[in-house]
C-alpha cells in the first residue's frame, strides 16, 4: 500500500492498523484510522486512548487520553 507516508504501515488480518513510530510498533486503530491518511489528519485510538496526527508526511503520536469504551 502506498500512501506517500514516511511511516512504515501494515494491516493485520483482523483489519487493525499498525505502524513503526520512533522505533516501536504502535497500534493505530481499526475503524478510526483514516483511509487514505493525508497530511493534517488526526485521530484518537479508542482502545488505547492514543492520539496520532500526520505531520510532514509522517504519523506521529501527539498524546494519550482516556480510553473510550465500546457500547454494543
The CA radius of gyration of the chain, in Å to the nearest whole number, is: 12
Query: Could you tell me what percent of the chain has a pLDDT over 90?
Result: 78
pTM: 0.85
Instruction: Show Cβ contacts of residue 61 under 8 Å, excluding neighbours closer than 6 positions.
Output: 21, 22, 26, 50, 51, 52
- Please count the other Cβ atoms lying within 10 Å of the Cβ belonging to residue 34: 16
Q: Given pLDDT bands bounded at 50, 70 and 90, which one contains residue 7?
A: very high
Q: Mean of the pLDDT values across residues 7-26?
A: 94
Amino acid at each position: 500500500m502506498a500512501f506517500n507516508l514516511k511511516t512504515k504501515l501494515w494491516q493485520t488480518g483482523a483489519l487493525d492498523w499498525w505502524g513503526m513510530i520512533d522505533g516501536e510498533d504502535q497500534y493505530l486503530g481499526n475503524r478510526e484510522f483514516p483511509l487514505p491518511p493525508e497530511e493534517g489528519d488526526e485521530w484518537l485510538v479508542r482502545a488505547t486512548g492514543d492520539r496520532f496526527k500526520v505531520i510532514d508526511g509522517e504519523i506521529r503520536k501527539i498524546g494519550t487520553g482516556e480510553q473510550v469504551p465500546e457500547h454494543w
